[in-house]
Amino acid sequence: MTREKIMQTLRNIVDQAAVEPVDTENMIEDTTIGELGFDSLSVLDLIYDVQQAFGLDFEVQELVTINSVGELIDFLEEEMKG
Amino acid sequence: MKQNTPTFRHRIEYAGVLPGIRLIRLLTPAGGRRLATVLGHMGFATMHRRRDIACNNIRLAKLTHQEEEIRSMARASMIHFLRVAIASLQNAGNAAGKLHIEQNIDPAAKEALANPKQGVILCSGHLGNWEVGLQEVAKQFPLLGIARKMNNPLVDNLLSFRNHENIEITPKHDQDAGRLVRALAEGRNVGILFDQHASRNRGVMVPFFGVPAATYTSPAMLHLTTKAPICFSTCVETAPGKYHLHIDPPFTYARTGNRQKDTAEILKMLHAKLENAIREHPTQYLWAHRRWRQV
């Protein structure tokens, strides 16, 4: 899966998981997870949907050091390589 | 992010609250109970909105159809809530060990709570004395409690007694998105009071006493994403100053891939357990909470 394809999937997920409306069209790799408006509880919906959409079953604690959308894409690419 | 700087109004409120708390701490436990009883009767007679919410909730739960019993249960619940608040202020979660707390913690739950590699999602409701229960758990196992921050930062500081060596309180919607996941991975247990109304699109509808109630998905989502086990817990009062802390065996749920369905199923299980516990101690439940706002 290309980075652009992953980004598009993430845009769809964020649209569904975000509690407050997010302008996902302007979401870029430098956008931070905090800027997307996720807090300690709403981020769980994002994690669940990411795991489902990409068919991955990673250890969630590996995600806590991720700050930006770009880092999340790096992580997903690595996980998909298996 | 909201500013936490106290306003003039906050300072006035604080000046009003502080002497009351100091007075409560000077009272004996029996004095505190008497004060709660007097304030509870007064509150029931004068706080019509709260009284009506409590009575309506008891009617919805169909615990009894007798109007006199409904009012009596609502009044007892209000008195009980004040006893919880006053006892919590007096004992700061039994810091001095003055309360007698009998424990019935399932052995598998005990093992899971002590696991340094993965914490437990400890779920409880507004039944009995949840403050004493969580503080007692925290004496034995590391605990992170999720609680709503007070609007008044000065009053919030006054309640900081809830934080001690083994317990940390974190706000409900913490800006640190990874805090709960990290806590569980570090072997800390996360305490959640799950029977709260979820606003707007933050929750799912779950039957509670057969009536759909908007409910936060947090305990279920924490379980589904981290795979940390869930334990249901209660701490009910058995006599003045005496409590029974009960923790169920841990349970897990295999996700189906349908987030709505998975969260609703887990929350349904938790609410069924809470319902059973409430039926045993109906006057110790916080009926004055607007649990069914959509009804």
Nearest to A40 among B174, B201, B259 (CB): B174
DSSP summary character for residue B164? B
Q: Read off the amino acid at residue B69.
A: E
* Confidence at B210, pLDDT banded by 50, 70, 90: very high
Residue that is written with structure tokens 């503080």 in the block? B135
Residues of chain A found within 8 Å of residue B178, distances taken between Cβ atoms: 40, 43, 63-65
Instruction: Assign B161 a pLDDT band (cuts: 50, 70, 90).
Output: low
Q: What size, in residues, is chain B?
A: 295
Return the higher-pLDDT residue of A78 and B21.
Answer: A78
Where residue A35 sits, what CATH number does that domain have? 1.10.1200.10
Two structure tokens written together for A37: 């408006």
Q: What is the pLDDT, as a whole number, of residue B92?
A: 63
Enumerate the domain spans of chain B. 8-284
pLDDT digits (tens, 9 = 90+) for A1-56: 889 999 999 999 998 888 778 888 889 999 988 888 888 888 898 899 999 999 99
Going along chain B, which residue ranges are E strands?
A: 100-105, 121-124, 143-147, 167-171, 189-193, 203-208, 211-216, 230-239, 242-247
Where does the pLDDT of residue B238 fall: very low under 50, low under 70, confident under 90, or very high at 90 and above?
very high
Record: contact B178-A48, CB cut-off 8 A: no
Token digits of residue A20: 């407050």
Task: Identify which has the larger pLDDT, B286 or B293.
Answer: B286
B31 burial level (CB within 10 Å; 0-12, 13-18, 19+)? middle
Question: Cβ–Cβ of B217/A45 closer than 8 Å?
Answer: yes
Rounded to whole angstroms, the Cα distance separating A22 from A14 reads 8
Amino acid symbol at B229:
P
Return the residue in A13, A14, A40 with the most chain B beta carbons within 10 A, the one to mutate for interface testing: A40
Nearest-Cα residue of chain B relative to residue A64 = B178
Looking at residue B168, its pLDDT comes to: 82
Query: In the 3-class helix/strand/coil scheme, how is B198-238 assigned residue by residue?
Result: CCHHHEEEEEECCEEEEEECHHHHHHHHHCCCEEEEEEEEE
pLDDT tens digits, residue range B126-156? 999 998 898 889 989 999 988 777 777 777 7
pLDDT score for A8? 93
Residue B159 has pLDDT above 70, yes or no: no
Determine, for residues B173 and A41 on separate chains, whether the beta-carbon distance falls below 8 Å: yes
- pLDDT value for B94: 53
Cβ distance of A45 and B222 shorter than 8 Å: no
Contacts of B293 (CB under 8 A, 6+ apart): B197, B214
Helix B48-61 to helix B29-46 angle (10° resolution) is: 90
pLDDT of residue A77: 93
Dump pLDDT digits (tens) for A11-22: 999 988 887 788
DSSP assignment letter at A55: T
Q: How far is B202 from chain A, CA to nearest CA, in Å? A: 7
Check B177 against A47: CB less than 8 A apart.
no
B165 against B15, higher pLDDT: B15
Instruction: Measure in Å the smallest separation between the Cα of B122 and chain A Cα atoms.
Output: 15
**What's the CA gap between B16 and B13, in Å, rounded?**
5
Nearest CB to B173 within list A40, A51, A60: A40
- Enter the DSSP assignment of B46: H
Q: Residue B21 burial (CB < 10 Å; 0-12/13-18/19+)?
A: middle
The alpha-carbon gap from B53 to the nearest alpha carbon of chain A, in Å, equals: 28
Q: Which domain holds residue A26?
A: 3-81
- Please give the tally of structural domains in chain A: 1
Q: Find out whether B164 and B138 touch, Cβ atoms under 8 Å.
A: yes
Q: What does pTM read for this prediction? A: 0.88
Q: Which residue has the tokens 């007692």?
A: B136
B1 pLDDT tier (thresholds 50, 70, 90): very low
